[in-house]
Amino acid sequence: MQPPRVTIVTPSFNSARFLEETIESVLAQDYPGIEYVVMDGGSQDGTLPILERYRGRICYRSEPDHGAADAINKGFGVGRGEIVAWLNADDRYLPGAVRAAVEHLQENPAAAVAYGEACWTDETGRVLAPYPTMKPFDPAAFSRECPLCQPACFIRREAMEEVGWLDSSLHSAFDYDLWIRLARRHVFSYMPKLLAHSRMHRANKSLGQRREVFEESMAVLQRHYGYVPVNWVYGYLCYRLDRRDQFFEPLRHSAPAYLASLFVGAGYNRRHPARYAREWLARIGTLIRKPAK
C-alpha cells in the first residue's frame, strides 16, 4: 500500500536568517512521501539565493501574496498530499516528526488532526521551555486559549477542505481560528512525542506584532464564542501599558490594568456582561498574585 503523501508548506518573507535551517529540517526527515513547498512573498534579503540552492529538492515560488495564510493556502494548492502541515520559516522539525505523525494518523483513522509536543527555542536554537501542550484533547479549551503548538500539528486534507482552509483575512491568529473550526467537526489526537521547535525572537510575529496578535485573537474568540475571557483582556491592557512582550519580559501584574479590564472587557462582552463580571470577580485575586503563563 502506497504511504500517504504529506504536503508541507513554508511561508517566507525576508526570512533568510533562519530559512536554511528550516528547509534542512524538512529535507532530513526519514519519511519518503513529502512534497515540500516554500511560498516566498517576494523577499529582498538573500532568501532567493538560498531557495535556488535547493532547486530540484524543493518546490518554491516567489511572488506577492496577501500574508502568511494566503501563502500557505496557495502552497497547499500546489501540493496534493493527503496530509498537510505548515512550518514557518524560523521553526524546525525534529528528526522523525513527519513519520511519527503519519503513523499516528494511520493508527487513529477517526482523527483529522495529529498533534504532538514542541519546545520554544531562542534565536540561536537554544531550548527555552516546553510548549504547554493540551493533553488530553479538550475542544472547550480553545474558548480560553490556544493550547496547540502549530508546527507540531498535521492535518488530513479532506478535513481542511471541509472547513474552508485558512482565513487569509487574518495575519496572526489564522491557526487559532482553524483549530476552532476543525475542532467543531473533527477529532484531534494527541501523540506524546516531541515533534518541533518553535523559535521565539523579537522579530517574529508573535512578539514583534504583539498588539495585533492580541487584537486578532480576541476578534477570533468573539467570532466563534461571542465571549473574550478576562485573561485575554487583562494581558492586552498590560501590554498596552508597558509594552512588555510577556514572553522574554514576563507580564507585570497591574491592579489598574485589572480594574480597567472590567470596563474594557464589558465592551468586548456586551452579550454576556453578567458572565464576564462573575469571571472578573472570581479571578481578581489569582491574576494579581500568580505569574502569567
Model pLDDT for residues 203-236, shown as the tens digit of each residue: 787 788 899 999 999 999 999 999 999 999 999 9
Q: pTM, whole model, 2 decimals?
A: 0.94
Which residue ranges form the domains of the chain, and what is each CATH number? 6-199 (3.90.550.10), 226-289 (no CATH)
In degrees and rounded to multiples of 5, residue 257 shows phi and psi of: -65, -40
- Residues 6 or more apart whose Cβ sits within 8 Å of residue 68: 11, 13, 88, 171, 174, 205
Helix (H) or strand (E) holding 207: helix 205-208
| Percent of the residues in the chain that have a pLDDT greater than 70, as a whole number | 97
Task: Let me know the angle formed at the C-alpha of 19 by 83 and 12, rounded to the nearest 5 degrees.
Answer: 65
How far apart, in whole angstroms, are the C-alpha atoms of residue 10 and residue 14? 13
Evaluate if residue 287 carries a pLDDT over 70: no
Mean pLDDT across 135-160: 96
pLDDT tens sequence across 8-40: 999 999 999 999 999 999 999 999 999 999 999
67: left (phi over 0), alpha (psi -120 to 50) or beta: left
Q: Are 19 and 26 in contact (CB under 8 A)?
A: no
Burial of 123 (0-12, 13-18, 19+ CB in 10 A): middle
Residue 14 has what DSSP assignment? S
Predicted local distance difference test score (pLDDT) of residue 291: 47
Mean pLDDT across 162-168: 97
Average pLDDT, the chain: 94
> Among candidates 186, 245, 180, which has minimal Cα distance to 210?
245
How far apart, in whole angstroms, are the C-alpha atoms of residue 182 and residue 188? 9
Predicted local distance difference test score (pLDDT) of residue 285: 65
> Among candidates 208, 198, 286, which has minimal Cα distance to 246?
208
- Residues 6 or more apart whose Cβ sits within 8 Å of residue 263: none
> Between β-strands 153-156 and 111-121, what pairing exists: parallel, antiparallel or unpaired?
antiparallel
- Residues 6 or more apart whose Cβ sits within 8 Å of residue 281: none
Evaluate if residue 58 carries a pLDDT over 90: yes
Evaluate if residue 123 carries a pLDDT over 60: yes
Predicted local distance difference test score (pLDDT) of residue 182: 98
How far apart, in whole angstroms, are the C-alpha atoms of residue 293 and residue 291? 7
pLDDT tens sequence across 196-206: 999 998 778 77
How far apart, in whole angstroms, are the C-alpha atoms of residue 91 and residue 204? 11
Please give the C-alpha separations between residue 87 and each of 69, 238, 275, in angstroms, as whole numbers: 12, 30, 38
Predicted local distance difference test score (pLDDT) of residue 205: 75
> In a 3-state reduction of DSSP, which class is residue 201?
coil
Q: Are 162 and 184 in contact (CB under 8 A)?
A: no
